[in-house]
């Protein structure tokens, strides 16, 4: 069994009867969904919230019942992949272009589980270019603002045209080889008019399921969950 399959399937152990499950996007979570589909066939009752059109399509093929955000009060658990995972369980996500819905779902979930093969583990975030979702209306000015932060943004292309996200936006892949202050960078990027969100997921993962040097599947856990929004005004 390959690492992606091993970690992807392990996450299914945390899904219990009647849960609302955030369904992530990518080739690792593919294995989570495939196993969930089998368990649903055997009688497991869950409802899924997909984080992308791609995942929605896959979940439908697997007959996983889906619900929509506005029909539920909260998500019990979200399972998703990552492009980089730091020692403090901070993440870069969005390699598949689904970062916005992934962050919305992760934020609404009581528990966020990340499934990541050993190639995703890093000491410091930044080798993977940080995806930033922007509105097409203001691409050049947004790029200039981002450059002022010392970052080199590149418009993501697909088949010779700009890649379009499920939300109708563009992605800038931002080279920033050593992210020294991820929290600050996440906030600074999101303050730029034209930026919708970025792929830094700081303090959000409760558990990372990965593989150690001995090829054993291991669980790395964070003590506190930061999903709730802090009260900012009264
Ligand atoms: O953030 C993501 C999509 O936007 C994915 O979770 C991330 O790119 C990891 O994908 P994979 O499991 O295919 O390596």
Ordered by where they begin, the domains of the chain are 3-120+202-221 (3.40.50.1360), 130-198 (3.30.70.260)
Give per-residue burial for 56-69: e unless 16+ CB within 10 Å, then b: bebbeebebebeee
Query: How much is the ipTM here?
Result: 0.99
Residue 117 has pLDDT above 60, yes or no: yes
Q: Determine the 3-state secondary structure of 26 from DSSP.
A: coil
Residue 227 has pLDDT above 90, yes or no: no
* Residues 3 and 60: beta-carbon distance below 8 Å: no
Which of 56, 102, 133, 186 is an active site residue?
102
Residue 231 has pLDDT above 70, yes or no: no
Mean pLDDT of all residues belonging to the chain: 95
* Residues 168 and 75: beta-carbon distance below 8 Å: no
Taking alpha carbons only, the member of 78, 117, 98, 111 closest to residue 26 is: 98
As for ligand 1, residues whose beta carbon falls within 6 Å of it are: 24-28, 80-83, 93-99, 102
- Span 130-142, average pLDDT: 97
Share of the chain above pLDDT 70, in %: 95
- Span 163-171, average pLDDT: 98
What integer pLDDT is reported at residue 234 of this predicted model?
59
What one-character DSSP code corresponds to residue 206? S
The two beta strands, 47-50 and 20-23, are: parallel
What is the whole-number distance in angstroms between the Cα of residue 232 and the centre of ligand 1? Answer: 32
What integer pLDDT is reported at residue 73 of this predicted model?
86
pLDDT category at 233 given cuts 50, 70, 90 is: low
Q: Pseudo-torsion of CA 168, 170, 20, 200, nearest 10°?
A: -160
Of the listed ranges 140-144, 186-190, 209-213, 225-229, the one predicted with least confidence: 225-229
What integer pLDDT is reported at residue 2 of this predicted model?
96
What integer pLDDT is reported at residue 147 of this predicted model?
96
Q: What ligand 1 atom has the least distance to the C-alpha of 116?
A: 12
pLDDT digits (tens, 9 = 90+) for 61-87: 999 999 998 999 899 999 999 999 999
- Span 147-172, average pLDDT: 97
Does residue 102 have an active-site annotation? yes
Q: For residue 39, which phi and psi values (nearest 5 degrees)?
A: -70, -35
> What is the best residue among 26, 50, 98 to mutate for testing ligand 1's pocket, by most ligand atoms within 8 Å of CB?
26
Give per-residue burial for 182-220: e unless 16+ CB within 10 Å, then b: beebbebbeebebbbbbbbbbbbbbbbbbbeeeeeeeeb
DSSP code string of 77-142: EEEE--SEE-TTS-EE--TTS-HHHHHHHHHHEEEEEEE--GGGB-SSTTSSPEEEEE-GGGHHHH
* Residues 33 and 9: beta-carbon distance below 8 Å: no
What integer pLDDT is reported at residue 134 of this predicted model?
98
What integer pLDDT is reported at residue 177 of this predicted model?
85
pLDDT digits (tens, 9 = 90+) for 182-222: 999 999 999 999 999 999 999 999 999 999 999 999 999 99
What integer pLDDT is reported at residue 52 of this predicted model?
98
* Residues 10 and 217: beta-carbon distance below 8 Å: yes
Taking alpha carbons only, the member of 209, 223, 225 closest to residue 4 is: 209
């Amino acid at each position: 069994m390959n690492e992606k399959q091993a970690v992807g399937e392990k996450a299914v152990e945390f899904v219990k009867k009647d849960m609302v499950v955030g369904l992530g996007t990518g080739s690792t979570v593919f294995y989570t969904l495939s196993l969930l589909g089998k368990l649903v066939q055997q009688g497991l009752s869950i409802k899924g919230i997909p984080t992308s059109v791609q995942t929605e399509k896959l979940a439908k093929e697997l007959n996983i019942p889906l619900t929509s955000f506005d029909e539920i009060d909260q998500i019990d658990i979200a399972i998703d992949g990552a492009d980089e995972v730091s020692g403090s369980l901070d993440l870069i996500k969005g390699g598949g272009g689904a970062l916005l819905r992934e962050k919305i779902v992760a934020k609404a979930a009581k528990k966020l589980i990340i499934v990541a093969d050993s190639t995703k583990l890093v000491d410091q975030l930044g080798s993977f270019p940080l995806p930033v979702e922007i509105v097409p209306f203001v691409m050049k000015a947004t790029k200039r603002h981002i450059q002022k932060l010392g970052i080199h943004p590149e418009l993501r292309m697909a088949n010779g045209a700009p890649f379009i996200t499920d939300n109708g936006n563009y992605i800038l892949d931002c080279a920033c080889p050593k992210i020294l202050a991820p929290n600050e960078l996440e906030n600074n990027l999101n303050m730029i008019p034209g930026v919708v969100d970025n792929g830094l997921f700081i303090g959000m993962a409760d558990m990372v399921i990965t593989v150690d040097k001995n090829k054993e599947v291991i669980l790395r856990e964070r003590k506190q969950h930061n999903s709730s929004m802090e009260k900012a005004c009264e």
